[in-house]
Amino acid sequence: MKKLLFTGSNGFLGRNIIPLLANHYSTATLDINNADIKCNLSSTIPVIKEKYQVVLHAAGKAHSIPKTEEDKQVFFDINYQGTINLCKGLEKSGIPKSFIFISTVAVYGCDFGDNITEEHSLDGNTPYALSKIQAENYLIDWCKQYNVILSILRPSLIAGPNPPGNLGDMIKGIHSGFYFNIAGGKAKKSVLMIQDIANLVLMMENKGGTFNVCDDEQPSFYELSNLISKQLNKKKPLNIPLWIAKAFALAGNLLGKNAPINSLKLKKITKSLTFSNKKAKENLGWVPISVLENFKIE
């Protein structure tokens, strides 16, 4: 059984997919606490005592909006410098055959668009996106130098038990009764079942490449909110007509960036943002798991 090193093992991905890898890999974990290798990658080069054939690098900073320059720097410390420190540790313990990096579709910097492919320029300008772009570029050079098979996964919104981020916020909003669809909730978003990450690891290990990963279905806000409402035994979220939402957005423009909604936020909510998974399906023979049929909130 091959040895796999999983970084960020205490996070959302680690909690859900490490058990799914157990039949295929002997997995060691790396995280700040509660891991086989305890290390804060943002500031320390890890002491790795074994050689691993596969590294799955999921440790990272996401799901927060920085308010200060210090907050912004944390993204680069964890996502970029943490990747450098990990690679330095691997140089001492033994170079892996395969390195799989969990990046993000945020690197494209798109607020809306349809079936965006891997050929799109990397225009992301948030600290999160920029730090992931820097990490990707570093790994491309490092893996080329050491002849390592590099796979870069760019997941969309990830669905799984108790998810963080925007999907978690939707669940909380529906649970509390403060979530509303706007203009019928017709805008579509790419979503990926978390189990697919484990399936993709097995497919990418010996191939490498850069892939957008998401479900085929591209569910709408309406479909997702209805699915969540049913599981929570809540009524379907109410719908706010677009003209009312626009009025609130115009008021939000005057209130500043802390307003709950403004014209830019409204545009993001009412415009679709979807990504193409064609490359991953064709190159890897991957068949995505249906989100609308399999997503369970807890």
Location of structure tokens 């993000």: 104
Find the mean pLDDT for residues 210-228: 96
- Domains, in order of start, for the chain: 2-161+191-216+275-289 (3.40.50.720)
Q: What is the pTM of this model?
A: 0.93
| b/e per residue 74-111 (b: at least 16 CB within 10 A) | bbbbbbbbbbbbbbebbeebebbebbbbbbbbbbbbbe
**CA–CA gap between residue 96 and residue 4 (Å, rounded):** 9
* Neighbour count for residue 7 (Cβ, 10 Å): 26
Kindly list the distances between the CA atom of residue 197 and the CA atoms of 101, 214, 227, 231, in Å, as whole numbers in the listed order.
11, 10, 22, 24
pLDDT digits over 36-65, tens only? 999 999 999 999 999 999 999 999 999 777
pLDDT classification of 258: cutoffs 50, 70, 90: low
pLDDT of 115 higher than 90: yes
30-37 contact pairs (CB < 8 A, 24+): 30/5, 30/6, 30/59, 30/86, 31/7, 31/59, 34/9, 34/10, 35/9, 35/10, 37/5
pLDDT confidence of residue 254:
82
pLDDT confidence of residue 257:
63
pLDDT of 187 higher than 70: yes
Whose CA is closest to 217, among 283, 154, 161, 275?
275
Whose CA is closest to 212, among 278, 158, 273, 164?
278
For 86, phi and psi rounded to 5 degrees?
A: -60, -45
77 in Cβ contact with 41 (< 8 Å): no
Q: Which one has a higher pLDDT value, 298 or 38?
A: 38
Would you put residue 242 in left (φ > 0), alpha (ψ -120 to 50) or beta?
alpha
DSSP 9: T
Side-chain-facing half-sphere of 54: CA atoms under 13 Å: 23
pLDDT digits over 65-101, tens only? 788 999 999 999 999 999 999 999 999 999 999 999 9
Rg (CA), the chain: 20
* Neighbour count for residue 38 (Cβ, 10 Å): 14
pLDDT confidence of residue 222:
95
pLDDT digits over 167-186, tens only? 888 899 899 988 889 989 99
Where in the chain does DSSP place strands (E)?
A: 2-7, 25-31, 37-38, 54-57, 98-102, 113-116, 149-155, 157-159, 181-182, 191-193, 209-213, 239-240, 273-275
pLDDT of 264 higher than 90: no
DSSP 49: -
Lowest mean pLDDT among 29-38, 118-127, 196-205, 243-252: 243-252
| % of the chain surpassing 90 pLDDT | 82
**Average pLDDT of the residues of the chain:** 94
